[in-house]
Amino acid sequence: MLATPTILSGGAMALPILLAEDDPITREALSVHLLQLGFQVLACSGFQAAQQALREQTFDYLILDRNLPGGGALALLRAAQADPSAPNHATPAIVISADIEPAQRAALLALGFIAVLQKPISATALGAALQPPRPSLPVAPTPALSPATPTAVATLDDAMALTACGTMEVVVGLRRLLAAEIGGFALQLQQAGADQDREKMRDTLHRLRSALGFCGGAELL
């Protein structure tokens, strides 16, 4: 069964963007950025759901994770471009990843992506990659953290998280989501180690690195 895509709208006249990202924390953070930039977001958690969305709807931009279970950004871009009559044959695409070497960046740009962004991605960096730039919507004031806030963890860098997320309200929400997801990451890593599955281990670490980056924990991994 395909995971149901999440549709979020930045307004009645918002331009549609397809976001394909399997890590829920990264997906949430980027969705918030795009809403603030004034876009409508169709957020997919898997390759097949994104592939189906590409066939059924026309988007103004595609934001695609380089590594998705079952395929990734390049496979989605090639599928969209394969048929000249397809709705997203000429839609500009951006690839995102937690690990991008300079040579990989150059290769992806040569293959047709308009930008290659490394996670964690700030709203400013995302907006700069989307041409023409979209006007930002008003952002709620940053709430003060109380001593009882469970996300005020000494090992998480608030300044780094704010750079990636924009407001402490978003940071707190993502850290709560990370707390709910961290046990699943641990089980997946344990299972991958037991199975000696290097590909699964690499994929899980990739998603964990992305999630930690948005929460101010990039230095922890």
**Whether residue 16 is found in the same domain as residue 98:** yes
The CATH number linked to 66 is 3.40.50.2300
pLDDT digits (tens, 9 = 90+) for 61-114: 999 999 988 889 999 999 999 888 999 999 999 999 988 889 999 999 999 999
Q: How many domains does the chain have?
A: 2
**Whether residue 89 is found in the same domain as residue 24:** yes
Distance, CA of 26 to CA of 28 (rounded, Å): 5
pLDDT digits (tens, 9 = 90+) for 183-203: 777 777 777 777 777 877 777
Question: Would the pLDDT of 59 be above 60?
Answer: yes
Is 93 inside any structural domain?
A: yes
Pairing, β 115-118 against β 61-65: unpaired
Is 137 inside any structural domain?
A: no
**Whether residue 102 is found in the same domain as residue 39:** yes
Q: Which domain holds residue 41?
A: 6-129
Is 134 inside any structural domain?
A: no
Q: Is the dihedral of CA 205, 213, 148, 166 positive or negative?
A: negative
pTM: 0.71
Is 68 inside any structural domain?
A: yes
Distance, CA of 203 to CA of 194 (rounded, Å): 15
Pairing, β 115-118 against β 39-44: unpaired
Question: Would the pLDDT of 133 be above 50?
Answer: no
User: Residues 34, 35, 41, 43: what is their CA dihedral angle, to the nearest 10 degrees?
Assistant: 70
Contact 26, 214 (CB under 8 A): yes
Distance, CA of 146 to CA of 1 (rounded, Å): 42
Chain-centroid distance of CA 161 in Å reads: 15
Question: Would the pLDDT of 13 be above 80?
Answer: no
Across the range 52-60, mean pLDDT stands at 94
